[in-house]
Every structure is written in C-alpha cells, then in structure tokens.
Amino acid sequence: MSEGKKKIDNRRTIDPAALSVIDTNSANGQVETAYERYVNMQPQCNFGRTGVCCRICLQGPCRITKKSSKGVCGAHGYTIVARNLIRAIAGGCGAHADHSRHMIYTIHELLEGKAPDYSIEDPEKLHRVADRLGLSADGKDDKELLKEVLTHAESDFTKINEEPCKWLETTVVPERMKVFTDCNIQPRSVHTSISEIMGSTHMGVDHDPVNLIFQGLKTSLADYIGMHIATDLSDILFGTPKPVTTEANFGVIDPDMVNIAVHGHNPLLSEMIVRQAREMKSEAEAAGAKGVKCMGICCTGNEVLMRQGVPVLTNFLSQELPIMTGAVDLMVVDVQCIMPGVKAVADCYHTRVVTTMSHSKIPGSYHVEFTEARAVEKAREVVTLAIEAFKERKDKEVDIPEIKHKLTAGFSMEAMEEVLGAVNPEEPIKVITDAVDSGQLRGVVLFAGCNNLRVPHDASGAYLIKELAKNNVLIVATGCAAGTAAKLGLMNAEAVEEYAGEGLKAFYKTLNEANKDKLKEDLPLVFHMGSCVDNSRAYDLTTALARQWGVDVPKVPFVASAPEAMSEKAVSIGSWCVTLGVPTHVGVVPEVTGSALVDGIALQIAEDVYGGYFIWEEDPEKAAEKILGALDERTWKLKVHKETAEKFETELSAGW
Ligand code: BF8
Ligand code: SF4
C-alpha cells in the first residue's frame, strides 16, 4: 500500500479465526483476499447499486438520471429495475436447476445401470416422496418406483402445459395454490419459467413492472420446485439427515492429516470424496499422515455435514483464508459460490485447487472431470492428489488458529418430527404450535443465505440469533447463515443455556427430557436444516405449521431472514419465501431502490396479494425489532381469528 493512501480496514468480520488469519496476513502483507479486494473496489457504482443501469441491448448502458429519465428506447426506470431484478431471479433459479438436474440425470443413469457407484440409500424416503406424489408402490420394486418419481421430476423440469407442477401442488397448503392460480403465476416448469424471463426481459418486450415482477415471482416458485426436487433426490440417494455432532471453524484442520476442503454445492461428488477419504487411510499413512480429513465450505460442506458429520471449515466469505494456514492440502470444488480468488491464494502455498465440473473451471487449476459412470475412481484421483500435496507440506510450518466449536446438525424435517414426536407421537408439530399458542415461544425464524462484504461478516447473523433466542424464538438455519452459527459456537446445547430466554429454555427442557434416551447430545440453539436447496425443508416446516393450525401460511408466525444475502440464488429464495407467504428480512438492500414503484411492490403490494413481504434492514438491532414485530402481528391475528371462529362456531377465516 502506498504512503498517503487512506488506511484500508480489511477487518470486516467478527469470526475470531478469520480475524487471526487476516491480521497475520496484514503483518506479513502478502496475500490478497476478498476482504482487501472489497476495500479496493470502493466506491462502487450507484447506478448498478440501485438497479437503474440497463445493459440489455447494445445501445446501452442506459443509466437513469435526473437529466435522462428514460433509456434510449424509452424504457422507464421501473422497467429497468424490474427487468434486472427478475433476471437475477432467473439466474438463481438456473443455478439451483443446474444442481437439481444433475441429481435427476444421475438417477437416470443409475436406473439404466450406468452409475454403478450410486444406489438407493434411503428407500423409506423414496416411498414417502412417492406417496406424497400420489404414486402407488403396490407390486413395484424400488427401482420401478424411483423411475416413476423421476418421470414426475423431469416433467416438473420441462413440461410446457399448464398442469400444476407436482412438487408445488403436493408440498404447499391448497390455499397457496389458489392464490397462484388467481394471480396467474403457476409455473409451467422450471426450465420454461427461466426461459420466459429471458424472453420477456429482452429489449422491447414487457415494460409493465407489475407484470415483470409477477413473472419473477412465478420463476421463484419454479426455483422452489427445483430446490425441493434436489433435496428429495439427494435424500433418496444419500440418506435423510439425522442429528450428528461434530466441530466447526479453522481449528478443525489437523496438521498431521491430509486435509481436504470440499467446497461448492453438489453432494454427488463430495459424498464420494468423503467416503473414499475414509477408505484411503493406509495410503495417507504410507505418506506419513495420520489419515485423510475432509472439511466443508459453503453448501457442499453443509450436505456432507448433515449426512456424514463432516466438520465445518468455514462459510462463503472466508473461503480463501483456510488455505493461508498452510495446512490445507487440497480444495476440491464443484459449482456455485466458489471465488476464483482461491486459486491465486493457493498459488502462494502448496495447496492444490481441483475443479470437477465441465462448466465450472478456474484457469490454472487441476481439473478432474467428474462422471457418474466413474465416480469412485474420480474421487480416489482427487484424494491421491491431496496425499501428494501433503508430502510436499509435511515438514513445513503451519499456522492454524486454535478456534473451533462443537455443533449438532442434521435436522431434516423427518429428524425434527422425530424429536418433536418424542413429546407428542400423534401430532409432533403440535408441540411447536402449542408452545406458540401458550406464549412459551414467540414464533419460528429461519436464518438463510450468504455472506456479503457490504456488511461485516457474521456480525448481523450472530447478533440476531442471540437476540431472537433471548426473545424465545425457535431458530432454524441453512446455508452460510447456518455456518455463522456453527463457527461461532451458537449451534450447540451450551448456547441454549447462555442465550435462550426462559420460554425457549423451558421448551428445550421438555424436548431434551423426552429425547434423553434417543439423542447423544442435548439439542442445539440453532437447528441446522441443511444447504441452501434445503430451504425446502424449512418451508416444509412452515407448511406443517400451517396445516397444524388449519390456516394459510400468511397467518403462521414464521419469518425468514437473510442477514447477509449475496447471490442471485438468495434473491430467488427470498422471492419465493414472500410468494409462499413468509415475511422475509434481507440485511443487504437489493438493487431495487432506484424505482420507488418496484420497491413498493416488494415491500407492500406483495403482502396484499401473497401475504408475505420483504423487510430491508441493514441495522441488526432494528432488524430484530422488525422480525419480532412480524411474528407478534401474526400470533396476535391468529389468536383473534381463532377466538372469533370459536365464538361464532365458524371455520377459521381464510384471509390474513
Ligand atoms: O447456496 S448461502 S454464499 S454457499 S448462495 Fe452461496 Fe449464499 Fe453460501 Fe450455498 Ni446459498
Ligand atoms: Fe437502453 Fe433500452 Fe437498450 Fe436497455 S433496452 S440498454 S434501456 S436502449
């Protein structure tokens, strides 16, 4: 840094392990990471930030200013903002579709006998999914039944007729489907919806911001469908998660082991790597290591944590930093949220970066092309590369911050029902609704989404978890938000003792006592429901609560929060949360503020039509108040509506 240039504050995290690496690096001044690049990037463009820059045709970029209030073609600011927003939704839906389609394809190959390393590991889940889809299992073996499930999945992905998509129709309450039909936002299929957005936002097509936004919401529902399919098929292939205890943060790196970081999103390869890492202990020992240790970053990390108990290394923002301990031998990546910056950092160490997907490469990295037909062989190739790298590193000094926390994860919907069922086997979900009705709990909040350097890393999520727990909110989490809780010691029973309010503590006491012979560990403050596609699990919980209360989702005291939303996937997930009736806090204001009209649709009109709405709030203290306010409003309404129904002996009102 040149003399006189303003001091760069790159300490934008509250994670002590990340801070330790950043500070050591600053002292040595060698390696550039996202924390420095963010500071160097300032100031960022305000046209882009507010959504009023259009680059859709070659006459652009057109930027809305006081002097030029329309684009060259005459497009208003509201059209430009709406188009940009829904293209982000299409991007998010496309990324999830990529993941989900890969699961579909692998199962297709499995059924054809061309993916010999995969099998149906959870036939019970297969039967549950088939049953939900209305398929009879009579006289069919598991492969025949899976083939029928797959036919429906393929249809939800590609069909062009207006029949409801099965994964939507069978997973939401009927009142939601009616709203979607009335508003004409039933997606035809995942691929069709993405294509419709790209078509309708082409230069000179749809200029009506409301129409555009509704198309965006339609595609967000398609995203929900793709995500739910990914979760269901992953469970069928690899098993439905159950509670599992392990550790999180950089302290999980063991200098005496061959250390492999698995990073990205898709469990198809990472599951194989984790299994082969266990099998290849003797090869590692021959190289002088104690064994092979896998650790997770981002959602691939969440997938193998949930099913295999693989330790959490870190979440999105700090993905480059573990390499700087000098002790990560190999980072294997698949798709999404992989910073290309990891390669430049790895170049300063002995660390191998290995890409595995034909459409997701980083120049200069190793590429081990993953194939369904030879999955185990490819996984072994990756582990072998890691062992080679370990040999180069083994006598060198490493610097690993000794920071790690115990965590319990693995709370699929099935696992949640099992835990609640220990208290009420007939109606497990009633354990939560009763606790809310009695005032013991104030509601349920899902923490989801990413990290984003626009706000300090992990700060808002950690604050909100503690504050809401103090206020007796039951907390579930997914994605990198779950990573925040895991890394900072908020995903274990000790955190319940430290942070939960009296009502929440009493709720936990009942659950822990009922489960004392079933679970090895007491329940954690934050229930980890999985990767980002597993937000489908969290929404299944919302649906279950709505069914238990006998209401539509907009009456359910359930709020979603993405304190550090970053990716297009997060934009899409937030949009389906709102469309599916959930108030959704976003801690980084998205690129919509350039149009008061579009902003207003997100904040107000969405509630009138769908019952869900966005809350943009960057200040964590204010966000906590707003989230609690949203829960309280719903609990209060639910109570009033129930009392009225009882008094007049009528049905619960369908409206909100
Ligand atoms: O799908 S939370 S930064 S890793 S996008 Fe990415 Fe965001 Fe993390 Fe998982 Ni989700
Ligand atoms: Fe400009 Fe219109 Fe082209 Fe957008 S579509 S770049 S607003 S001329």
Residue 650 pLDDT > 90, yes or no?
no
SS3 assignment for 390-450: HHHHCCCCCCCCCCCEEEEECCCHHHHHHHHHCCCCCCCCHHHHHHHHCCCCCEEEEECCC
Residue 302: closest CA among 233, 231, 366, 374: 231
Helix (H) / strand (E) containing 333: strand 330-333
> Distance (Å, rounded) from C-alpha 302 to C-alpha 276?
18
> Distance (Å, rounded) from C-alpha 10 to C-alpha 30?
14
Q: Residues 425-430: what's their mean pLDDT?
A: 98
Residue 2 pLDDT > 60, yes or no?
no
pTM here?
0.97
Tell me: the pLDDT tens digits for 441-492? 999 999 999 999 999 999 999 999 999 999 999 999 999 999 999 999 999 9
> Distance (Å, rounded) from C-alpha 60 to C-alpha 55?
5
- Ligand nearest the Cα of residue 74 is 2
Structure tokens at 337: 């949220």
Residue 95 pLDDT > 90, yes or no?
yes
CA 530–ligand 1 middle distance (angstroms): 11
Beta bridge partners of 405: 248
CA 561–ligand 1 middle distance (angstroms): 14
Q: Residues 315-340: what's their mean pLDDT?
A: 98
Residue 370: closest CA among 331, 417, 335, 408: 335
- Ligand nearest the Cα of residue 452 is 1
pLDDT score, position 400:
98
Tell me: the pLDDT tens digits for 606-618? 999 999 999 999 9
Q: Residues 407-424: what's their mean pLDDT?
A: 98
Q: CB–CB of 431/440 below 8 Å? A: no
The two beta strands, 405-409 and 244-248, are antiparallel
Rounded to the nearest 5°, which phi and psi values hold at 293?
Answer: -115, 125
Report residues whose beta carbon is within 6 angstroms of any ligand 2 atom: 54-57, 59-60, 62, 71-73, 75, 80, 203
Q: CATH assignment of 250-393? A: 3.40.50.2030
| Residues in contact with 44: Cβ distance below 8 Å, sequence separation at least 6, in sequence order | none
Q: Residues 328-351: what's their mean pLDDT?
A: 97
Report residue 7's pLDDT band, with 50, 70 and 90 as the boundaries: low
Q: What is the largest CA-CA distance in the chain?
A: 79
CA 47–ligand 2 middle distance (angstroms): 14
Report residue 1's pLDDT band, with 50, 70 and 90 as the boundaries: very low
User: Quick check: do 250-393 and 407-648 share a fold?
Assistant: yes
Ranking 25-29, 366-370, 569-573 by mean pLDDT, the lowest is 25-29
Residue 4 pLDDT > 50, yes or no?
no
Pick the residue whose CA is nearest to atom 9 on ligand 1: 299
Residue 3 pLDDT > 50, yes or no?
no
Residue among 47, 53, 54 whose CB has most ligand 2 atoms within 8 A, to mutate: 54
pLDDT score, position 656:
79
Structure tokens at 255: 């200098």
Beta bridge partners of 246: 407
Report residue 5's pLDDT band, with 50, 70 and 90 as the boundaries: very low
Domain boundaries in the chain? 77-238, 250-393, 407-648
Pick the residue whose CA is nearest to atom 4 on ligand 1: 298
pLDDT score, position 565:
98
521: helix, strand or coil: coil
> Distance (Å, rounded) from C-alpha 477 to C-alpha 541?
12
CA 57–ligand 2 middle distance (angstroms): 5
pLDDT score, position 29:
76
Tell me: the pLDDT tens digits for 525-577? 999 999 999 999 999 999 999 999 999 999 999 999 999 999 999 999 999 99
Q: Residues 64-84: what's their mean pLDDT?
A: 97
The radius of gyration of the chain from alpha carbons, rounded to an integer in Å, stands at: 24
Pick the residue whose CA is nearest to atom 1 on ligand 1: 532
Residue among 203, 205, 206, 212 whose CB has most ligand 2 atoms within 8 A, to mutate: 203
Report residue 395's pLDDT band, with 50, 70 and 90 as the boundaries: confident
| Architecture, CATH, for domain 77-238 | Up-down Bundle (1.20)
Residue 374 pLDDT > 80, yes or no?
yes
Structure tokens at 387: 């062992």
> Distance (Å, rounded) from C-alpha 60 to C-alpha 73?
10
In sequence order, what E strands does 538-644 have? Answer: 558-562, 584-586, 614-616
Residue 6 pLDDT > 70, yes or no?
no
Q: Residues 290-307: what's their mean pLDDT?
A: 98
**Topology (CATH) of 407-648:** Rossmann fold (3.40.50)
Residue among 80, 198, 206, 595 whose CB has most ligand 2 atoms within 8 A, to mutate: 80
Report residue 165's pLDDT band, with 50, 70 and 90 as the boundaries: very high
Ranking 7-11, 254-258, 589-593, 625-629 by mean pLDDT, the lowest is 7-11
